[in-house]
């Protein structure tokens, strides 16, 4: 029965490490941009939006449609970077674990 106890202890350690890694993701900041930097979105690697910056030159009623497109593009860029940062952090955690090929942790 020693093996089951070892497995349970290892599972508890993995769960604690995963929780710590998830909390750490909210401290990693990424920045998405569009329009050559005219619109910027800051987000955590967990996907929480921290801020939006719009260049004042875009704040004209005639530019409304373009600004909306640029904001959406910047959000998507930030989301992609947040996903990449999250994946990098999680791979650090799982690099020493003997996981089967194709196995993904629940994130």
CA 76 from centre of chain: 12
Q: Which residues contact 71 (CB under 8 A, 6 or more apart)?
A: 34, 39, 41, 52, 54
Residue 99: pLDDT over 90: no
Give the pLDDT confidence score for residue 35 in this predicted structure. Answer: 92
Give the pLDDT confidence score for residue 100 in this predicted structure. Answer: 58
Per-residue model confidence as pLDDT tens digits over 50-90? 999 999 998 999 989 999 999 999 999 998 998 888 888 77
The pTM is what?
0.64
- Average pLDDT taken over every residue of the chain: 83
Domains of the chain: which residue ranges? 2-94
Residue 107: pLDDT over 90: no
Q: Looking at the structure, give the CATH architecture of the domain made up of residues 2-94.
A: 2-Layer Sandwich (3.30)
């Amino acid at each position: 029965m020693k093996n089951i106890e070892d497995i349970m202890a290892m599972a508890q350690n993995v769960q604690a490490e995963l929780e710590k890694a998830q909390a750490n993701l909210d401290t990693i900041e990424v920045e998405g941009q569009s329009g050559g930097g005219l619109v910027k979105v800051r987000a955590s690697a967990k996907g929480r939006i921290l801020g939006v910056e719009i260049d004042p030159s875009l704040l004209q009623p005639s530019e409304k449609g373009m600004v909306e497109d640029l904001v959406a593009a910047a959000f998507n860029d930030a989301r992609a970077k947040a996903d990449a940062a999250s994946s990098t952090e999680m791979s650090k955690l799982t690099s020493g674990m003997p996981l089967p090929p194709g196995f993904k942790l629940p994130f």
